[in-house]
Amino acid sequence: MTFTGITVTASGAIAQKAGAYFNTDYTDDMMTVALLQAESSLNADTENNWSDQFGTLNADTKGIVSAITSSTVAIEAIRFDLDAIGRSSSIAMINSLSNEINANKKILLEKSKRDFVREA
């Protein structure tokens, strides 16, 4: 399934990032809510409304925005049941996803990179 908040994130990307054994009781509706929250958080954190601009962004920038939102939703899916894959594995995955989110946000926040991703 593809979740459409304002950005578009495939459920496969979320499942891949959450891991093979995340709790499948984390429903599509829950993922949709988490996606909308992830978009809002990204917009606030970067002081830019990526959601409104998503349709006009180039493929590279859409990929960065989608990577951030899918990783954020994957974290929520993991947090839903930390014991589904084991607590230490869950924490390691959350840390890895958080690092990815922060690295991608940094790209969107740095002016020189922001200009590049908008113009690419």
The one-letter amino acid code at 52 reads D
Contact criterion met (CB below 8 Å) for 95 and 80 = no
* Per-residue pLDDT tens over the stretch 73-120: 999 999 999 999 899 999 999 999 999 999 999 999 886 666 666 665
Mean model confidence pLDDT for the chain: 86
For residue 94, give the nearest of 73, 65, 64, 67 by alpha carbon. Answer: 73
User: Over 90: is that where the pLDDT of 14 sits?
Assistant: no
Domain span holding position 93: 2-119
Q: Is the pLDDT of residue 8 over 70?
A: no
Q: 5 pLDDT band (50/70/90 cuts)?
A: low
pLDDT at 42 over 70: yes
